[in-house]
């Protein structure tokens, strides 16, 4: 099946909108009657909504899953093109992420992971490209440079940030944490400007921007410390947790397991291609209206819609003021992720930073395609932001910013223009979490709001989406406590 989402380009085919994915659901709906009153309607079939819909339907609740797109997975989905999986959004997982690993074990997928890096071929180097030219390092030198740069950035307490974020899965921000949440990474860099070497500064800035997809000014320093704490307070941990292990069959091979298990319960009804436009709720239940005017009713609702598009849905009564304000502020991540299949086999082992001049600032060899070509993945963000499909020559030039390469194919999803995401993974500007984390997580009558964007632990990650879907299903099950199967 081909999704409407995503783009691919080759010289022969030109730019094409829509790429194939096993996450596309056919038939798009199994709704039989418009009159059913469901126990719970889940809106959004990303990992959060899929987890919630599965757990609620397995608990015996009659569940309706509504999704705007033609596919499952939301911001995590993969395309398979000529036998090779390209990750359009969320990609890497790690066994240290408890929620994700519970699900990988549940579906017996422990042996379906592979390592992105292969440091055994060709240009086995770290290329640090700046307006001053290209410097070349070994990967060991790269690690040492990154570790020293990031250690200086996070070392606000002489303990590499441990006292500021002692419990990274806690929902309580300590006074110190709140202080750093009101600070941007640009503020922190100003404090340590005399401590960093020029190369450390390049590395620290590019790595932070890889994480936030924003600018140094719009990146909360606390949230960077939070990622650092989650990753075991080390650069080595960041690599293990953030960018190393991915599914051989792509993310959609994982997400589809959730959907199939929910369906097998016999309690799941679903409708894809169903953007929700209005949600009315009161003491006795919820009525949901789609853009084409279909209405659905339920006793409860799990709203798994991302923060940046929550205000596009009309709520009646309106969203609570704190949640509304958080959604108006939104998160800052406008990550540009581009895959290139290139014929240069010797670039399989490169990693690189191309900063601050380039549109893509962080890239590396991520695999070898069945044709024997190298797969490179590269990331940009709000810093020098661009839309990859608008000017393919610019996109290719941004890739060439790491090293000269012979580009055969491009694959990407423009998350900034995606009307059901309006951005990539959650990353907050200064002040958002200190002011609104509680608001984003609060329940409103019969609606439970759940999303990776306001998870407590791996907020912004697949793990956080599953954490939140689990919480939402447990909450709704609690509402039905006393019913026979629960």
Between CA 218 and CA 226, with CA 221 as vertex, the angle to 5 degrees is 125
Window 281 to 310, contacts with ligand FAD (CB under 6 A)? 304-306, 309
470 binds ligand FAD (CB under 6 A): no
> Contacting ligand FAD (CB under 6 A), which of 68, 185, 225, 353?
68
82 known ligand binder: no
Burial degree of 369 (CB within 10 A; 0-12, 13-18, 19+): middle
Binding-residue pattern over the window 332 to 361 for ligand FAD, x denoting contact by CB under 6 A: ---x-x------------------------
224 known ligand binder: no
103 binds ligand FAD (CB under 6 A): no
> Contacting ligand FAD (CB under 6 A), which of 150, 156, 276, 432?
276
> Contacting ligand FAD (CB under 6 A), which of 452, 470, 471, 476?
452
Question: DSSP secondary structure string, 290-353?
Answer: ETTS-EEEEEEEEE---GGGGGGSEEESPPPHHHHHHHHH------EEEEEEES-GGGTT-EEE
67 binds ligand FAD (CB under 6 A): yes
119 known ligand binder: no
Window 404 to 443, contacts with ligand FAD (CB under 6 A)? 415, 420-421, 424-425
Burial degree of 198 (CB within 10 A; 0-12, 13-18, 19+): exposed
Q: How far, in Å, CA of 180 to CA of 184, rounded?
A: 8
Q: And the tokens for 234?
A: 């080390």
Closest approach of ligand FAD to the CB of residue 242, in Å: 7
User: With respect to ligand FAD, which residue has the nearer C-beta, 61 or 68?
Assistant: 68
Question: DSSP secondary structure string, 173-241?
Answer: PPHHHHHHHTSBHHHHHHHTTTTS-HHHHHHHHHHHHHHHSS-TTTSBHHHHHHHHHHTTSSHHHHHHH
90 binds ligand FAD (CB under 6 A): yes
Cβ atoms of residues 58 and 260 within 8 Å = no
Cα 477 to its chain centre, rounded Å, is 27
SS3 376: strand
Number of residues this chain uses to bind ligand FAD (CB under 6 A): 40
Count of residues in the chain: 486
Helix axes 221-230, 432-441, angle to 10 degrees: 70
> Contacting ligand FAD (CB under 6 A), which of 3, 57, 76, 130?
76
Binding-residue pattern over the window 5 to 44 for ligand FAD, x denoting contact by CB under 6 A: --------------------------------------xx
Q: And the tokens for 53?
A: 């819909």
> Contacting ligand FAD (CB under 6 A), which of 22, 332, 462, 476?
462
Binding site members for substrate: 379
Binding site members for FAD: 67-68, 276
Binding site members: 67-68, 276, 379
| Residues binding ligand FAD (CB under 6 A) | 43-49, 66-69, 74-76, 89-93, 275-276, 304-306, 309, 313, 335, 337, 415, 420-421, 424-425, 451-452, 460-463, 465
């Amino acid at each position: 099946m081909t999704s409407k989402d995503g783009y691919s380009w080759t010289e022969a085919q030109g730019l094409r909108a829509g790429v194939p994915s096993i996450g596309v659901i056919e038939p798009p709906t199994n709704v039989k009657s418009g009159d059913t009153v469901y126990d719970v309607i889940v809106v959004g079939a990303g990992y959060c909504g899929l987890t919630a819909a599965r757990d609620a339907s397995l608990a015996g609740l009659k569940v309706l899953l509504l999704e705007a797109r033609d596919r499952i997975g939301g911001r995590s989905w993969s395309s398979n093109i000529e036998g090779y999986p390209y990750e359009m959004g969320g990609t890497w997982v790690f066994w240290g992420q408890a929620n994700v690993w519970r699900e990988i074990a549940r579906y017996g997928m422990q042996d379906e992971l592979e390592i992105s890096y292969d440091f055994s071929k060709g240009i086995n180097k770290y290329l640090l490209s700046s307006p001053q030219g290209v410097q070349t390092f070994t990967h060991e030198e790269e690690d040492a440079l990154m570790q020293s740069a990031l250690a200086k950035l996070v070392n606000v307490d002489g303990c590499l940030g441990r006292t500021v974020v002692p419990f990274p899965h806690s929902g309580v921000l300590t006074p110190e944490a709140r202080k750093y949440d009101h600070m941007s990474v640009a503020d922190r860099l100003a404090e340590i400007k005399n401590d960093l070497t020029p190369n450390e500064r390049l590395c620290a800035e590019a790595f932070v921007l890889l994480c936030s997809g924003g600018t140094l000014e719009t990146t909360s320093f606390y949230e960077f410390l939070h990622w650092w704490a989650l990753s075991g307070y080390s650069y080595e941990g960041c690599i293990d947790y953030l960018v190393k292990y991915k599914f051989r069959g792509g993310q959609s091979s994982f997400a589809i397991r959730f959907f199939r298990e929910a369906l097998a319960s016999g309690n799941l009804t679903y409708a894809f291609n169903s953007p929700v436009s209005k949600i009315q709720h009161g003491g006795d239940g919820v009525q949901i209206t789609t853009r084409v005017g279909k209405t659905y009713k339920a006793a409860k609702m799990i709203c798994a819609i991302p923060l940046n598009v929550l205000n596009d849905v009309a709520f009646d009564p309106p969203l609570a003021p704190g949640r509304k304000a958080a959604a108006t502020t939104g998160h800052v991540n406008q990550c540009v992720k581009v895959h290139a299949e290139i014929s240069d086999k010797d670039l399989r082992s490169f990693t690189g930073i191309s900063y601050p001049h380039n549109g893509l600032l962080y890239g590396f060899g991520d695999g070898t395609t069945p044709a024997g070509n190298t797969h490179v993945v590269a990331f940009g963000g709000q810093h020098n932001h661009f839309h990859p499909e608008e000017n393919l020559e610019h996109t290719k030039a941004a890739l060439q910013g790491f090293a000269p390469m012979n580009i055969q194919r491009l694959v990407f999803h423009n998350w900034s223009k995606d009307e059901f995401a309006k951005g990539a993974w959650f990353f907050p500007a200064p002040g958002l979490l200190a002011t609104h984390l509680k608001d984003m997580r609060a329940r409103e009558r019969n609606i439970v709001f759940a999303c990776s964007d306001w998870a407590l632990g791996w907020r912004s990650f697949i793990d956080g989406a599953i954490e939140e879907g689990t919480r939402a299903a447990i909450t709704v099950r609690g509402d039905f406590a006393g019913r026979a199967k629960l």
